[in-house]
Amino acid sequence: MEKEQCYNLGSVSKVQGINGKLILRLEVDFPEEYSKLESVYIEKNRKLIPFFIEEITILPKGFARVKFEDVDSDEIAQTLVKGQLYLPIEQLPELKADQFYYHEIVGFKVIDSEIGNIGIVIEYLEIPANPQLLVDFKGHEILVPISSHFYKGIDKKKEEIYVTLPPGLVEVNIG
C-alpha cells in the first residue's frame, strides 16, 4: 500500500500497561466509527506496514486502546510509538452531500456569492476555530475562511465550493 492511496488516521501515542497494548490518537471527527477496525497501516522507515487488531476500545477525547496481533511485549510496542496511522482512502465513511474530506477538495473552484470564481483550492488548513482554504487567486496565494459563517455549500460533481466572504477580504490577502 502506498501512502498516496491512504489517509492519515492519527498516530500511536504511547504504550499502555503490559502485553504490548497501545494508546492511539485518532485525529478524526467521529472516533466511534472506528470501533470495529480490523487493521491499520503504521509508517515505519517510510514504509506502510499492516498491523492487524486483536481488540480495540474507543476512549474519550479521540483516543483508542488497541492490541495488535504479534505485538506481545512493551519493548515491541515501544517501537511503534509516534508512528503515523493510515487507512486506505476507500475505507473512509460516506459523507452527506454538503460535507467533504479535506483531501478531496484540493483542485476545487471557490465561488463567492459577490465576486464569483475566486480561484482553485491548493490546500485545506486545519486551524482550530478558524479553518482556511489556501486558494490560488490569479497567481497569488490567499486564505479563504471556511467556517460556517462563510461556507455556503459544495457541489462535488461540479467541483465547486460556495462561500460568501466579507467585503475586501480578497484585496487584503493580495495587498
Note whether 35 and 93 are within 8 A (CB): no
Q: Which residue intervals of the chain bear CATH 2.40.30.60? A: 3-90
- Per residue in 72-106, pLDDT tens? 999 999 999 999 999 998 888 777 777 788 778 99
Q: Hey, what's the cell of 23? A: 494508546
Number of CB atoms found within 10 A of residue 124's CB: 19
Relative to beta strand 160-163, strand 109-112 is parallel
Bridge partners, residue 133, by sequence:
124, 144
CATH code, 102-174:
2.30.30.240
pLDDT over 80 (residue 69): yes
Query: Does pTM top 0.85 for this prediction?
Result: no
List, by residue range, all CATH 2.30.30.240 domains of the chain.
102-174
Q: Which fold has domain 3-90?
A: Elongation Factor Tu (Ef-tu); domain 3 (2.40.30)
**DSSP labels for 115-142?**
TEEEEEEEEEE--TT--EEEEEETTEEE
Q: Note the pLDDT tens digit of each residue in 10-63.
A: 999 999 988 899 999 998 878 998 999 999 999 999 999 999 999 999 999 999
